[in-house]
Homo-oligomer: A and B are copies of this chain.
Amino acid sequence: MYKIKLRAETIVVAADLVGTLVFAIEGALSAMRGGLDLLGVMVISFVAALGGGVIRDLLIGATPPNAIRDWRYPVLTFLAGFFTFVFHSTVQAFPAEWMLVLDAAGLALFAVAGVEKAILFGIRPFIAMLMGTVTAVGGGVVRDILLSRVPAVLQVDIYATAAFFGALVVLAARRLGLSPGAAAFVGGAACFTLRMVAVTRGWHLPRA
């Protein structure tokens, strides 16, 4: 029992750190296209990377949120924003395909980390899936609100849908008897695969 809990916590931490870096860099690039100054770029890096987790933690009552309790998270995102600002020509030279793949990986990692943390806090399955989705896309929503745009995730694309699907697979795999580690892996792979297939095939949800 103890071992399983420890394992789940380790997954949460590792997934959080990797996803955080990817989303912080993307947030910084987005803020620079919006013409913000250095501070604005660093703030958007922070918000885009950690906003989803902060919203999840406020909702499940895990205050202070992890992103605030553990100083390494904000420092990591501020540094990511700073270095993206300084070396932006290098960062922007990254092939767009790489960024898409890394973003899909971040999405999968955050969705899994979010559903894991909600389970650790005793949240029921359906709400835990929502919390996984909020963790994965919440930062992007706050980023778009700060840039005064309708959040991209509400308009097009299989994006939040992929996060929700991944969270669903995590819970289904656990219900079927897989270990927490295996369930997290299968769920993350499901989210990543659905996102990449949707991008390459141009899948969209219907619009009014």
Q: Does A83 contact B (CB under 8 A)?
A: no
A205-B82 Cα distance, complex, nearest whole Å: 12
Q: Does A3 contact B (CB under 8 A)?
A: no
Cβ of A83 to closest chain B Cβ, rounded Å: 13
Cβ of A159 to closest chain B Cβ, rounded Å: 8
Docked-complex contact B154 and A37, CB < 8 angstroms = yes
Question: Which among B64, B74, B150 is the interface contact of A146 at CB below 8 angstroms?
Answer: B150
Given A37-B156, A58-B63, A59-B68, check contact A147 B150 (CB 8 Å).
Answer: yes
Given A63-B61, A154-B37, check contact A127 B74 (CB 8 Å).
Answer: yes
At the interface with chain B, which of A39-47, A94-102, A104-112, A183-191? Answer: A39-47
A146-B138 Cα distance, complex, nearest whole Å: 12
Interface string of A89-132 (1 = CB under 8 A from B): 00000000000000000000000000000000001101100110
Q: Does A23 contact B (CB under 8 A)?
A: no
Cβ of A9 to closest chain B Cβ, rounded Å: 20
Q: Does A201 contact B (CB under 8 A)?
A: no
Given A59-B54, A68-B59, A148-B150, check contact A35 B207 (CB 8 Å).
Answer: yes
> What is A's interface to B at a CB cutoff of 8 Å?
31-41, 43-44, 54, 58-61, 63-65, 68-69, 71, 74-75, 85, 88, 123-124, 126-127, 130-131, 141, 145-151, 153-157, 160-161, 204-208
